[in-house]
Structure 1
């Protein structure tokens, strides 16, 4: 059921963004590359054991489709992926247990960007917020362990576009991404898999620095004037 909901939501998001792009006067294809830094995870398992681990920093790639509204606003659908290792230590009164998981982290996000107009139109500072889904896949779960988890996710970022021509530029940005269960935020890695056992006190916040190659088409819509 969860996979069906996820697939349906993803399909609706893509149809929405492509419908907008088909009638847009300007849209961008953003090819992302960034480095995501280490993030520590500490939490108490449901069985009373304690867990601590680190989602190792690694390369993240992605692609975004952005529809530009009236020069100052953009709506973007973005996919990001990171392959990394998650070394974990489970503690108990008897002995500690160490294990390293190979984890794939996928973000599917949609949201808005607000651009700050400057006299030099080739430089476009921006900030943005995005909402969507995070799909965590454990490539080597133990027998009986969960192999995947789909959670609500959000992202916030600031940066700037630098256009070398009307059609080509680069984007430099700093970005914070989080996979959450509720307002508190959480990632789930129980005694077996990615998605079992940890309470909502656990957190996953990924900070990254990077950029994108921008391929731009068309012209933005002008602001309405009387």
Structure 2
């Protein structure tokens, strides 16, 4: 079947355009808490098949939302001035699993990169390390066109620490990260394979 070779051959590029819904997330700070409100998220990506059913990708995802902040007593800290944007730029890897006569391609993937967080009303922009894990289904509609459905968990890493330890058990080292921004997203869209 021609469809199998369109997605399986190394050296093929595809362009993915997805639109979806990102669910609300609570963010806790030392003296306040806030929300990254639910909103639409749009993404465009380029995927390159490096091996049969394995691809690397570069994705840009954008979400305009609101991020209200409150004291733990419930007092609003930024009422009416809570517009925000989260932009993700991630490089990643996808692994496809062909089934059903090479028409359905379940997949899993991971991406690493950065999140550009823009507090629009405050005039502040922050760039942080970000990652995403995802799974989904690519449905071949022919040699060039496919539909893509995916669920994704994306996170903005807010801090990292490292330590060296010496004790009775010998020396050790460790690296930890923490993140209070963890977003769940459902999306769908189209993929166009460049012949």
Q: TM-score, normalization: structure 2? A: 0.80
Tell me the alpha carbon deviations over residues 31-63 of structure 1, each in whole angstroms, 9 at most, x when there is no partner: 01010000011120xxxxx21111100000010
- Residues 193-212 of structure 1 aligned to structure 2 (within 5 Å): 203-212=180-189
Structure 2 distance, partners of 1:214, 1:179, is 26
Cα offset, 1:183, TM superposition: 5.2
Which structure features the higher share of helix residues? 1
Q: Is the 8 A contact 2:41 2:62 kept in 1?
A: yes
Q: TM-score, normalization: structure 1? A: 0.70
Which secondary structure state, in structure 2, belongs to the residue aligned with residue 98 of structure 1?
coil
2:65 maps to 84
CA RMSD of aligned residues (A): 2.0
Cα offset, 1:182, TM superposition: 3.3
- Residues 108-119 of structure 1 aligned to structure 2 (within 5 Å): 108-119=89-100
Cα offset, 1:132, TM superposition: 0.1
Structure 2 distance, partners of 1:88, 1:206, is 17
Structure 2 distance, partners of 1:74, 1:86, is 34
2:190 maps to 213
Structure 1 distance, partners of 2:109, 2:65, is 26
- Aligned in 2, Cα 1:88/1:202: closer, same or farther, shift over 3 Å? farther
Q: Is the 8 A contact 1:67 1:76 kept in 2?
A: yes
Tell me the alpha carbon deviations over residues 93-118 of structure 1, each in whole angstroms, 9 at most, x when there is no partner: xx934324100100000010011132
2:24 maps to 38
- Aligned in 2, Cα 1:128/1:201: closer, same or farther, shift over 3 Å? closer
Q: Is the 8 A contact 1:52 1:90 kept in 2?
A: yes
Q: Is the 8 A contact 2:158 2:180 kept in 1?
A: no
1:96 maps to 75
1:19 maps to none
Alignment of 1:167 onto 2:167: no
Which structure features the higher share of strand residues? 2
Cα offset, 1:73, TM superposition: 0.3
Q: Where do 5+ consecutive residues of structure 1 fail to align?
A: 1-23, 45-49, 185-199, 219-226
Cα offset, 1:217, TM superposition: 1.6
2:166 maps to none
Q: Is the 8 A contact 1:91 1:97 kept in 2?
A: no
Runs of 4+ in 1 over 4 A off after TM superposition: none
1:28 maps to 14
Structure 2 distance, partners of 1:33, 1:120, is 27
Q: Which one of 109, 129, 141 corresponds to residue 152 of structure 1?
A: 129
